[in-house]
Amino acid sequence: MNYIALDDFRKAWVFKHQDLPISESDLAAIKPMTKERAAVLWSTMISRDQDHPDFFTPSEWVGKEDSWSENVDWEQPWEQGEGALPESITTHLGWEANTTVYFCMSRDQVIETNFAVFERCWQNFMFLCDGSLLVGKKRTAVVQFMENGEARLGEKPKG
């Protein structure tokens, strides 16, 4: 089994927030990974050496400054209750609605969904931003959501 039930995810409250309701069909598409599956994905797509974004080093693509091209503000649109993911982020990513995406918080906490669901529910996901990375399956564009309200736009190496 690659996923746990959303209700068994210890931070499931972010998706059940009464001020940011999510449809049942979108909730069904938000799939927290088991620790084992998350670790494999993290090691493959994010970092073999570090368990959390706080510990990235310049020896890894995520720790290299040249992996990142721009910082944009996600917090102001979030605080203003804008339903749409900031345009600078969607433009950078250029992903289709059905692109499989992974919201990577740490080696043992990764959530899989599709880009359309992430776009609709992005405000809920931002409760989990602590250097969390949004990566797409077979995509090089990446966004790192920082606790300070900025999002770093970047590219990961192909591979």
Each residue of 10-62: pLDDT tens digit?
A: 999 999 989 999 999 999 999 999 999 999 999 999 999 999 999 999 999 99
Q: Which helix (H) or strand (E) holds 153?
A: strand 150-155
The whole-angstrom separation of Cα 95 and Cα 106 is: 23
Query: Span 127-131, mean pLDDT?
Result: 94
Each residue of 56-107: pLDDT tens digit?
A: 999 999 999 999 999 999 999 999 988 899 999 999 999 999 999 999 999 9
pLDDT recorded at residue 157: 86
Q: pTM score, two decimals?
A: 0.96
- In the chain, the amino acid numbered 90 is T
pLDDT recorded at residue 159: 60
Per-residue b/e over 88-125, b at no fewer than 16 CB within 10 Å?
bbeebbebeeebebbbbbbbebbbbbbbbbbbbbbbbb
- Calculate the CA dihedral of residues 77, 79, 80, 86 and round it to 10 degrees: 10
Both tokens of 34, joined, read 């088991």
Question: Over 90: is that where the pLDDT of 144 sits?
Answer: yes
pLDDT recorded at residue 83: 86
The whole-angstrom separation of Cα 40 and Cα 128 is: 20
Q: Map out the domains of the chain as residue ranges.
A: 6-155
Question: Over 90: is that where the pLDDT of 1 sits?
Answer: no
